[in-house]
Amino acid sequence: MTVLDKPRLALLDLIGRNPEHNLKSLSLALGKNDAYLQQYVKKGSPQNLREDVRDGLARIFGVSADVFRSEADNKRVDLGGDHTVVDEAECPTRQLNEASGRLVIPEYDVQAGAGPGTLIDHVAAENGNIPVDQWQIPSRFLEAFTDNVHSLAIIQVRGDSMEPDYHSGERVLVDLAHRTPTPPGVYVVWDGLGLVMKRLEVVFGSCDPIQVKISSINPAYDSYERPLDDLVISGRVVAKWMWK
């Protein structure tokens, strides 16, 4: 299992803030194969990004290349603060956020099936979905649910296996930066068969490989286990919307 260190988290954070980019498109823009950055984030290969890759990402996102240095490198800087060099004139969305105190959250029609009858083709975040809508939400409201307010997306629940907590048609807020199933909770995950919204929990004592229990809230559906390395976790569900 790859531990998401600061440069990897910074990369995912920047993708969350800039949904027009994804791991696949960034890899191609850098002159690499389309799985290069996905392997860097998920498999830890390469262990550290080369200088030309760091410089390329810096140009794309308008941040310091030192953001992408390894944690062991004393020249590394954290994302944001004085080291963020984004040209605000080229980022009207972020200007709107700062002026209004609201964040623009993209909604994706990924149809995360909650039951086995609604499993669909693999649509992980790195495949570059196009938002079907955008929600403007006060940042102070979002901070009550997650620390990763710049790495959020909204999707629609499909199926009945997560009832009564999540009903088909409801919108849920997903933290795209939270891709390790700890603590246990509800995640959007590709389990090898389809994209599902399930409760994930690491099986205590499992190792080589680490096993994850995948379960539904609806007792009519059986739980099952998969090796952690076989899963592609798109994010953790942190909130939902209800209208009555």
List the domain boundaries for the chain: 6-86, 100-240
Confidence of residue 80 (pLDDT cuts 50, 70, 90): low
The predicted model gives 42-63 an average pLDDT of: 89
Confidence of residue 127 (pLDDT cuts 50, 70, 90): very low
pLDDT at position 218 is 94
Query: Residue 241's closest CA among 135, 159, 140, 139?
Result: 135
CA-based end-to-end distance of the chain = 42
Q: What is the DSSP string of 87-151?
A: -GGG-HHHHHHHHHTEEEEEE----EESSGGG--S---GGG-PPPSEEEEEEHHHHTTT-S-TTS
Residue 91 has pLDDT above 70, yes or no: no
Higher pLDDT, 21 or 202: 202
For the 6-86 domain, the top CATH level (class) is: mainly alpha
Residue 99 has pLDDT above 90, yes or no: no
Label the pairing between strands 211-215 and 195-202.
antiparallel
pTM over the 0.85 mark? no
| Window from 3-17, 22-36, 105-119, 195-209 with minimum mean pLDDT | 105-119
Confidence of residue 172 (pLDDT cuts 50, 70, 90): very high
Residue 59 has pLDDT above 50, yes or no: yes
- Cβ neighbours for 237, distance < 8 A, ≥ 6 positions apart: 166, 172, 173, 174, 175, 185, 186, 187, 188, 197
CA distance 24 to 148: 22
Q: Quick one: fold of 100-240? A: Umud Fragment, subunit A (2.10.109)
Residue 86 has pLDDT above 70, yes or no: no
The predicted model gives 95-117 an average pLDDT of: 60
The predicted model gives 148-172 an average pLDDT of: 88
